[in-house]
Structure 1
Amino acid sequence: MEVGISRVIVETDSTNLLSAIQTAKFDQASGGVIFREIRELLSLHFVAMQFSFVPRSCNRCAHKLAQAGFVRDPDHPIVWFDLLPSFVRIWLDRDIAGPEVPE
């Protein structure tokens, strides 16, 4: 939203997360406050949203990025506006090549 993006597509390999973000079904769960806040932020800052379930095997790059986020150096950027880092390009190339390409 800070760079003017108004349309987003959210893909996840978790059907529970999809349900928690799209409905109030999980609002009373321990993470309910977070789910409500996500819905509020999405509705306030984005014009169009699309949510979809994508099996992890179909998007290994997103899974790898999520794993990298847990151990990333806080002094490095989390958003890239120029060229993607080489490790991300490698993961994307592997996804494009298909599931039979080894890690």
Structure 2
Amino acid sequence: MADAFQSEAVAMLYAINIASQMGCDRVMFETDSTQLRRAVSTEEYDLSALGAIFREIKFQLHVGFSDVCVVNCSRTCNRVAHRLAAFGATLNSGACITWLGQFPEFVQNLVAGDLPSNDM
């Protein structure tokens, strides 16, 4: 469990760095981990084994953006993010893929599945 929590924190730090490099100024980060949201929004976890990561996340959020929001969403509402994370886990270490414009079919299918149905 601690390894998963650490992975989530490292992934959030990576996302923060990418958003900053892309020049984003106003950002919203979503996580399905209430514990992670709390860890980066309070001082509650600063003395934990992962405290240095949480302090770095909070510092980067503070200096990198003019408007920041970290929110929770349910895991079922986060299927696209989980599938993208699973895809990223299959890449070689250090590999990075950026899609601008057309997204891969597996992402389009997941997003289409999230759209409300017009059938009544």
TM-score bucket (shorter structure): 0.7 to 0.9
More helix by percentage: 2
Number of residue pairs aligned between Structure 1 and Structure 2: 98
CA displacement 1:34-79 (0-9 Å, x = unmatched): 1110111111111111121101012211121122222223475343
Query: Does the CA-based 8 Å contact 1:59-1:95 persist in structure 2?
Result: no
Measured in 2, the distance between the counterparts of 1:5 and 1:29 equals: 30
Aligned pairs for 1:80-91 within 5 A: 80-91=99-110
Amino acid at match of 1:62: A
After TM superposition, what 4+ stretches of structure 1 lie above 4 angstroms from structure 2?
A: none
Runs of at least 5 residues in structure 2 that lack an aligned partner in the other structure = 1-19
What does residue 88 of structure 2 align with?
Answer: 69
Report the Cα offset of residue 97 of structure 1: 4.9
- Whole-angstrom CA distance in 2 between matches of 1:75 and 1:82: 23
Q: Distance in 1 between matches of 2:104 and 2:92?
A: 14
Alignment correspondent of 2:73: 54
| Normalised TM-score (structure 1) | 0.80
Q: Does structure 1 residue 96 correspond to structure 2 residue 96? A: no
Specify every segment of 5 or more residues in structure 1 that has no aligned partner in the other structure, as ranges. 99-103
Q: Deviations over 1:78-102 (max 9, x none)?
A: 432332222222222222258xxxx
